[in-house]
A and B are shown apart, each in its own frame.
Chain A
């Protein structure tokens, strides 16, 4: 620490530049992680709210909720601690002057999918729905009667709830009958037992169903199979992982250049008997200081930027994830110092004396 810190103080500009580069990398990592997180919750927050362990869909639906169709009777045969039936259909909802993509959930009021109402009241009558509160930003309000793209049915927003987006669309929660009227129109009565899936809370997912036509899939698998979800999160996560590698390489290059410049100085110290281990530790300590400051400033900058972003940008900062990424950045930076450490260990003190 002694050498590390004194050198930083003497050569402030040089080290501020290195910190600056690290800070930018950290900023990018944090921002991407915010974006990844934001986009992920856009897709999955309604599902996360269920706190469920699995979803039962038909085998032939290939893990797609929309494509799955089963009867309540079939669902009732499934074994789990708690179950909730779910009907789902996508639609475009329109009030007098706004349009929005929505996902309509048909549920039972007494089952665990039932959302908590944060404004207004729960659905009770025919065609009443609880809507995701993000629809408020899109210009929808309590009492709005919305038209749907695919049907004559109109739905009334009687309440709002938080964190209710599914596959990037705000959710409208209604009872099963409402859902079936939207989905089947005239034929709703005849299809009164049709749902898309059954949501489970259970310890033993594999024991839930032994029917060949049905498949119980873990919630995480279910989410990964939402259209576009995996492609999106993979892309962003790859960018983050590449940034880890890049920052390690940047630090390695910077430190290596610095170390090469200082070879004769290290040699002099070694000639005096200062152990290589001490010099190596000081380079590591220096990297640690630089990386820590860079990451901390990057983190602060990211959070400040977050305050000024328009609501439409889907960033959501998850502090624990960011702290982990920050720690990873510090660790990869230190890994980048390994080259320099090897160089120092190999320095021949005699070279420093130069004859």
Chain B
């Protein structure tokens, strides 16, 4: 089943001689249960692609379809609902709320959304990510890698149908990076979600079913 679909999507920033074609006209689709990697040099348009996929950025042209709904036609409020329900973001920068402990980061999602993970699932997730001992700590008391893992837990906690991860392993050592990729893969297979991972690290693409390469705004399938 197709979960995410791009039809002739492009994005340009600015105008005149400052015009940047961050994403050139792109057709793309992702199926349920797929783990997809997007690699490419810095500034090639990977984050642009990912934020459009997550409904955070509106494309200049074309349409984005998430679970049969054309989100380009929606307003911000409706798109926010889709994000909440369907999408788990793991952002390039930390996406934790500074004044909430690890446990409460999850609890916040309970306040605004139903059908999140239950107790046992969360315990298992904490264990898999190695953050079980950190549950009562604030983000400021965590290392960069720990924060990244908590951010991953937060993205998966809401049982999204699409997980979008921008450099999720950037601040992890390679052992941890492999573990996290393994975990994301496992979640993708077990929960039949779709995961798109943007990464620089070409060693991690072994975990993925499909690999796309982004060069100057052009997305090309490699595997």
Q: A residues engaging B (CB < 8 A)?
A: 2-3, 6-7, 9-11, 265, 268-276, 278, 349-350, 352-355
Contact = CB atoms under 8 A, between A and B. Distances in A.
Contacts of B10: none
A273 B92 contact: no
Closest 10 CB pairs of A and B: A273-B84, A273-B83, A10-B99, A268-B95, A7-B99, A350-B56, A273-B80, A274-B112, A353-B91, A2-B111
Interface in B102-150: 104, 107-109, 111-113, 138
Contacts of A353: 47, 51, 56, 91-93, 166
A328 to B, nearest CB: 30
A2 B83 contact: no
Given A2-B108, A3-B108, A271 B85 contact: no
Contacts of A274: 80, 84, 108-109, 112
Given A6-B99, A7-B99, A355-B47, A271 B92 contact: no
A355 B92 contact: yes
A276 B84 CA distance: 12
20 contacts: A3-B100, A6-B100, A9-B99, A10-B98, A265-B98, A269-B97, A270-B80, A271-B54, A272-B95, A272-B154, A273-B81, A275-B80, A278-B111, A349-B80, A350-B51, A350-B56, A353-B47, A353-B56, A353-B92, A354-B92
Given A7-B99, A268-B91, A278-B112, 10 more contacts: A265-B98, A270-B80, A271-B83, A272-B89, A273-B84, A275-B84, A276-B80, A352-B95, A353-B91, A354-B93
Contacts of A6: 99-100, 104
Contacts of A270: 80
Interface string B74-95: 0001001111110101011101
Contacts of B91: 268, 271, 352-353
Nearest to A275: B80
Contacts of A276: 77, 80
Given A6-B104, A10-B99, A272 B83 contact: yes
Contacts of B80: 270, 273-276, 349
B20 interface: no
B57 interface: yes
Given A10-B99, A265-B98, A350-B51, A271 B108 contact: no
B100 to A, nearest CB: 6
Contacts of B111: 2, 278
B87 A2 contact: no
Contacts of A7: 99
B182 to A, nearest CB: 24
A294 B87 CA distance: 41
Contacts of A10: 98-100, 138
Interface in B38-92: 47, 51, 54, 56-57, 77, 80-85, 87, 89, 91-92
Contact of B56 (A9, A271, A278): A271
A146 to B, nearest CB: 69
- Most chain-A Cβ atoms within 10 A of its Cβ — which of B83, B85, B112? B112
A204 B65 CA distance: 75
A349 B104 CA distance: 21
Given A2-B108, A265-B98, A275 B77 contact: yes
Contacts of B154: 272
A15 to B, nearest CB: 11
Nearest to B81: A273
A3 B83 CA distance: 20
A355 B92 CA distance: 8
A276 B83 CA distance: 13
Nearest to A272: B89
B97 A268 contact: yes
Nearest to B151: A268
Contacts of A350: 51, 56-57
A230 B77 CA distance: 53
A354 B100 CA distance: 22
Nearest to B93: A354
Nearest to A8: B99
Contacts of A273: 80-85, 87, 112-113
A10 B111 CA distance: 19
Contacts of B107: 2
B192 to A, nearest CB: 21
Contacts of B83: 271-273
A349 to B, nearest CB: 6
A8 to B, nearest CB: 9
Nearest to A267: B95
Contacts of B82: 273
A10 to B, nearest CB: 4
Interface in B13-55: 47, 51, 54
B56 A275 contact: no
Nearest to B113: A273
A6 B136 CA distance: 13
